[in-house]
Amino acid sequence: MVPTSENGSPPVYREIAEELRGQIRSGRYADGDRLPGENALMERHGVARATARQALSVLINEGLAVAVRGSGIYVRLFRPLRRHGARRLSKDLWGNGRAIWQTDSEDREYEVDRLRVGEAVPEEHVARALELPEGAGVLRRSRRYLLEGRPVQHAVSHLPLPVLEGGPASAAHRVREHDSGPGGIYARLAELGHAPAHFTEEIRVRMPTPEESEELELSPGTPVLEVARTALTSEHRPVEFNEITMDGSAYVLRYDFDA
């Protein structure tokens, strides 16, 4: 039967996408299965190639499917990460040697790649967030996070160089290494006498830059979550400014509040 779109009804390509979506959710098409291609949809529904292509694009943009060049469109089921805003930054976590990323990933396999560490001259907005005096530099830690082989986040931490002076030499050294040790950089800051006690986060949704789309391997039309987080000591001294870019289709943000 050829689907039609009368006045007020969804466009034909959305009807086709809804049918395929239902078949994915019912289990007819499992993760990794190849979906019907444009030619098959054209024949089955009696539609033009552009309509079949639009239907498949809907599933790709929703993150339910991925296009493999020269092969076809495949189901890509991915359980979103639940990012618990408060619990993941608790001192009980990093203070006991755990990485804050473990709160997001639970028991799922994750890895960090493209890790780059080095001193840098901060951009104006970074210097302002860290309340740096003129001429002060930062240690910049840039890394990408992958979950089950899928890039989901890119983060860049900026640490004021004056904060890394004094205190145990081992802690200052570990912050500069690729592996900053148990509990990550927050545990090292605590050892240096600058333990984070407060955090502020600003979050906004936007479309990615071409560089971000490539870095996170985003499907066309996928937005990103941009998080700007500042870590402060109990005296409200900024000790880290972290710029995080997340695949918008890979995350659910969770926050708990008391009434």
Residue 2: strand, helix, or coil: coil
Predicted local confidence at residue 245, as pLDDT: 97
Predicted local confidence at residue 3, as pLDDT: 47
Return averaged pLDDT per consecutive 10 residues of the chain, 259 residues in all. Answer: 54 94 90 91 94 92 82 82 71 65 70 93 96 94 91 95 87 90 91 93 95 89 92 96 93 79
Question: Could you report the per-residue pLDDT of 110-129, keeping only the tens digit for each?
Answer: 889 999 999 999 999 999 99
Question: Which residues does 227 contact at the CB level (< 8 Å), separation at least 6?
Answer: 201, 202, 203, 242, 243, 244, 245, 246
User: Are 216 and 151 in contact, with CB atoms under 8 Å apart?
Assistant: yes
pTM (2 d.p.): 0.74
For CATH 3.40.1410.10, list the domain ranges present in the chain: 81-254
Is domain 81-254 given the CATH code 3.40.1410.10 in the classification?
yes
Q: Which helix (H) or strand (E) element contains residue 112?
A: strand 110-120
CA angle 101, 105, 111 (to 5 degrees): 70
> Beta-carbon neighbour count of residue 259 at 10 Å?
2
Fold of the domain built from segment(s) 12-75 = Arc Repressor Mutant, subunit A (1.10.10)
Report the C-alpha gap between 90 and 95 in whole angstroms. 8
